[in-house]
Amino acid sequence: MAYDPEVADRVRAVLPVRDDITEKAMFGGLAFLIGGNMAIGVRGGGGLMVRSAAEDAARLIADRADARQMTMRGRVMTGWVDVSPDGLGDDETLQFWVDVGVGTAAALPPK
């Protein structure tokens, strides 16, 4: 399933202005990269994959009803949170998740 273009546009609208942000089609979705490191992925159906520090993922999931541990093909993706479309209803919540992903990816060395 292709990614949701409306959610992608919403993510673009709240991304910080940076010279090192790129977009790339990945995993059937659209990824936003910071310095070559994936920060956020827009999935089909309107959900997000959000990069987080591995030690923060459990807290983020516990604090948010519409977030869970990211799994891909049955494999747990450490340091990634799967946010359902229901968890992106308002711009403030979307901004929270974008900030998590961008902050985590920006802390990594550029590729």
Q: What is the distance between the alpha carbons of residues 80 and 26, in angstroms, rounded to a whole number?
A: 15
Which residues neighbour 26 within 8 Å (Cβ) at sequence distance 6 or greater? 38, 41
pLDDT tens for each residue of 24-67: 998 789 999 999 999 999 998 889 999 999 889 888 988 888 99
> How many structural domains are present in the chain?
1
pLDDT at 96 over 60: yes
The reply to whether 27 falls in a domain is yes
73 occurs within a structural domain? yes
Give the range among 27-36, 68-77, 99-108 with minimum mean pLDDT.
68-77
Question: In 3D, which of 67, 69, 33, 47 has the Cα closest to residue 1?
Answer: 47
CATH number at residue 57: 3.90.1150.30
In a domain, 111, yes or no: no
Domain for residue 101, yes or no? Answer: yes
- Stated pTM of the model: 0.92
Domain that holds residue 66: 5-106
Query: Residue 19: its pLDDT value, please?
Result: 95
**87 or 99: which leads in pLDDT:** 99
